[in-house]
Chains A and B, each alone.
Chain A
Amino acid sequence: DAGVIQSPRHEVTEMGQEVTLRCKPISGHDYLFWYRQTMMRGLELLIYFNNNVPIDDSGMPEDRFSAKMPNASFSTLKIQPSEPRDSAVYFCASSDFGDSDEQYFGPGTRLTVT
């Protein structure tokens, strides 16, 4: 398997624009996680899905953030409208409940909002 795939790897956008980050989990994994990493706040869990269903979105900072998982092989994290404080690295991770709970991380998307 190719591992967790994220796109784009880098995104630069202007404040107020909509940003969509994409993730393809490892085939067969039934959990998908979205994290945000900043210098100030470290690694924060934003939301996670189990079998495509959002289970816990308590980490989503505000209504400008939304996440979807329309099928087992694709998820999106959308920010609308974006703000400079959203600048961070966003990681997607997947895991297999029946396995070791180890989360396999994607390479991350570095988002810069100017």
Chain B
Amino acid sequence: AQKVTQAQTEISVVEKEDVTLDCVYETRDTTYYLFWYKQPPSGELVFLIRRNSFDEQNEISGRYSWNFQKSTSSFNFTITASQVVDSAVYFCALILNSGGYQKVTFGTGTKLQVIP
């Protein structure tokens, strides 16, 4: 069975602070994809990043960075110098794709509030 755990339900930080959102996943498959999505107060789901199980390289995109560690089954997301516009719910997701059959599991989300 697949599982995605986002243990942090809500996080509040003051603007310009760095913040890390945790994501721990469980799967027995060796091929899988991990995603982060952002859901701002307006409600839409915005894709942030995709990582496949064979690529453990960390990634940086502007103020965003992701740390993928297979050894700990974690795919954590860090926002550097947070801004009010970063306030949103962030979802981590695990997708298995085997011969066209997809198994999709979303975490419960972490609500980030950036206080000005």
Contacts and interface: CB of A to CB of B under 8 A. Distances in A.
A100 B50 contact: yes
B12 to A, nearest CB: 19
Q: Is the interface of A mostly helix, strand, loop or mixed?
A: strand
Interface string A94-111: 000100111111011010
Give chain B's interface residue range (CB within 8 Å of chain A): 10 to 19
Nearest to B108: A42
Candidate in B35, B45, B91 with the most chain A CB atoms within 10 angstroms: B45
Interface residues of A, number: 22
Enumerate the 4 nearest inter-chain pairs by beta-carbon distance, A residue then B residue, closest first: A105-B45, A43-B106, A42-B108, A45-B104
A91 B91 CA distance: 15
B101 A102 contact: no
Contacts of B102: 31, 48, 50, 55-56, 101
B95 interface: yes
A42 B109 contact: yes
21 contacts: A33-B104, A42-B106, A43-B91, A43-B109, A45-B104, A50-B100, A50-B102, A55-B100, A55-B101, A56-B101, A56-B103, A93-B45, A101-B50, A101-B97, A102-B35, A102-B47, A103-B35, A103-B95, A103-B104, A105-B37, A105-B45
A102 B50 contact: yes
